[in-house]
Amino acid sequence: MLPRDPAGTTDRVSRDRSFKVGFADPDAVSDPRTKALIQNLEARTDATATIVDSTGEALLKHLADGNVDLAIGRFRSDSPWQTDVAFGPALTTHGRSADALELKAAMRNGENRWIMKVERASRAVAEPGAND
Amino acid sequence: MPAELEDAMRKAVHLEYWNLFWSSTIIIAMGLVLGQSQTMKTAWIEDTLGLVPPVMFLLAARVEGKARPSKRFPFGFHRVNGLGFFVAAVALAAVGAILLYDAVSALVAAEHPSVASIFVFGHEIWLGWLMIAAQLYSLVPPMIIGRKELPLAKALNDKLLHTDALMNKANWLTGAAGLFGVVGLGVGWWWADSLAAAVISLDIINDGIKALRSATAELVDGAPRALSGPDLSEDAQALCDRIRTEFPGSTVRLRETGRLIHVEVHDHHPPEESRHPRSYWPGDSDRSWRIAQVSFIPPTDDDHCATKQGK
């Protein structure tokens, strides 16, 4: 079944029943959509989220290197990280137009099966109209 | 434009309008599902570039057919086709080089392209499936149009049209390589995407360089080149041999302006009887329209000139 992950993230999560999550900014932790996304993903993967102690650019670097499976935070729609990591759909949007900040998950580039799984979970818990 | 080519030219113009239409549908279909895939980006740019030869052909055909020699352009516009050929060749070679750089950079940096999912009619679907569908669709029109263009390019001796036929061949090969790249991405081979893009780029560069060599040869008055590459044209060589045999001791120079050949016979007087240029054509008379002009440059009598100047 396509797609598969080059680094096997989905298989590892399924095998270890665990995935690593970090928060790119402190505000993301308290947002109810963040909690909903993690719970939805835990239910879909039958795995438990392990929170890692890393934030900001260091977290995104860990994500790009494959040390973290998911980074959740508020990012601009034109974030400079968009070529280094894969962003999922917005869970909710704060602000308007170009300055808007989107609360969303970021995944390691190329892990397409894992990305699809997180996208599905994100759409399920997203605020209506967050991606319009 | 020789009268006997008008029918073939009309068909070629008609075919090129269809080519533009079908190519546009491919560009739209591919553009909608590009994603982060290097293969898709390369194939899409190649498909977009594929518009250059038909557009140049249609422009050249219009100018060649309608414009008349004027005070500013006393030799007419036979070379417009060659100019279009040159523009198409430069575009091919330059973009091929840029795409190759992109693909190799992505390979060296071990970039893992992400292909996400999208919602279509209420269903979540992996974008890769749509990429595969777009690539499959992109195989069909260029395969059919390219095959139809080749006999017309030969009949018209039109290098621009021939380049377009090659471009169409490259486009469906690109589609096949692109399928490998996207399917490879799907099965987790992150390198397949960039590798397929690099192979496609090399093919584009190869076509571009071949076309550039031929186009440049025409612009600097080189001997007529074959339709399919930079080698010397066989019929022009036969013409050269025929004229050399008829006018021994002469130096024969041939050059090409678009589809037409111009001949200069140096160090020989013209024949006494008036002859149509086409009478020199050595092969099939149906192709004798290729000769536009035969000029004679008699031997220079240096002593005579010197004497006249001395007086």
Quick: pLDDT tens for B42-58: 888 888 888 988 998 99
Q: Cα angle at B76 between B71 and B80, to 5 degrees?
A: 130
Tokens 């073939």 correspond to what residue?
Answer: B8
Q: What is the ipTM of this complex?
A: 0.81
Do residue B188 and residue A3 have CB atoms under 8 angstroms apart?
Answer: yes
Closest residue in B to A84 (Cα) is: B111
Q: Where would I find the beta strands (DSSP E) of B121-200?
A: 123-126
B-chain residues near A115 (CB < 8 A): 114, 116-117
* Alpha-carbon torsion (B160, B164, B166, B170), positive or negative: positive
* pLDDT > 90 in chain B, percent: 34
Average pLDDT over residues B88-117: 85
A74 - beta bridge partners? A103
Do the Cβ atoms of B103 and B43 come closer than 8 Å?
A: no
- Its CATH architecture, for the domain B3-219, is Up-down Bundle (1.20)
- B225 secondary structure, DSSP code: B
Do the Cβ atoms of B170 and B204 come closer than 8 Å?
A: yes
Single-letter code of the amino acid located at A122: S
Residues in Cβ contact with B164 at an 8 Å cutoff, skipping those fewer than 6 apart: B16, B19, B50, B53, B54, B57, B88, B146, B149, B153
Do the Cβ atoms of B5 and B155 come closer than 8 Å?
A: yes
B-chain residues near A4 (CB < 8 A): 186-188
Better-scored residue on pLDDT, B208 or A119:
A119
Average pLDDT over residues A127-131: 75
Return d(Cα B102, Cα B6) in angstroms, integer. 43
Domain boundaries, given as residue ranges, for chain B: 3-219, 234-310
And the tokens for B290? 């290729």
Point out the residue among B116, B129, B188 whose CB comes nearest to the CB of A115: B116
User: Among B102, B117, B119, B185, which would you mutate to test the A interface (most chain A Cβ atoms within 10 Å of its Cβ)?
Assistant: B117
Do the Cβ atoms of B204 and B96 come closer than 8 Å?
A: yes
Average pLDDT over residues B11-17: 96
Longest alpha-carbon distance in chain B: 98
Interface check for B114 against chain A (CB to CB < 8 A): the answer is yes
Q: Where would I find the beta strands (DSSP E) of chain B?
A: 117-120, 123-126, 251-257, 260-266, 291-297
A53 vs A30, A34, A58, B28, B38, CA distance in Å? 15, 16, 10, 45, 34
Closest residue in A to B188 (Cα) is: A6
Average pLDDT over residues B183-197: 88
Tokens 């999560």 correspond to what residue?
Answer: A13
* pLDDT > 70 in chain B, percent: 96
Single-letter code of the amino acid located at B146: G
Average pLDDT over residues A11-19: 95
Among B100, B96, B104, residue whose Cα is nearest residue B206: B96
Return d(Cα B83, Cα B60) in angstroms, integer. 8
Query: What pLDDT score does B310 carry?
Result: 41
Structural domains in chain A plus CATH codes: 9-125 (3.40.190.10)
Q: How far is B215 from chain A (nearest CA, A)?
A: 39
Q: Which of B55-59, B116-120, B216-220 has the highest mean pLDDT?
A: B55-59
Interface check for A108 against chain B (CB to CB < 8 A): the answer is yes
Return d(Cα A84, Cα A130) in angstroms, integer. 23
Q: How far is A65 from chain B (nearest CA, A)?
A: 11
Quick: pLDDT tens for B251-303: 999 998 888 899 999 999 999 888 999 999 998 888 999 999 999 999 876 54
B216 vs A17, B222, B230, B237, CA distance in Å? 64, 8, 10, 19
B261 - beta bridge partners? B256, B291
Return d(Cα B75, Cα B70) in angstroms, integer. 8
Return d(Cα B264, Cα B268) in angstroms, integer. 10
User: What average pLDDT does chain B have?
Assistant: 86
A-chain residues near B185 (CB < 8 A): 3, 112
Query: What pLDDT score does B159 carry?
Result: 85
Quick: pLDDT tens for A66-80: 899 999 999 988 888
pLDDT at B306 over 70: no
Closest residue in A to B109 (Cα) is: A84
pLDDT at B81 over 70: yes
Lowest mean pLDDT among A104-113, A117-126, B147-156, B213-222: B213-222
Q: Where would I find the beta strands (DSSP E) of B51-128?
A: 117-120, 123-126
Interface check for A84 against chain B (CB to CB < 8 A): the answer is no
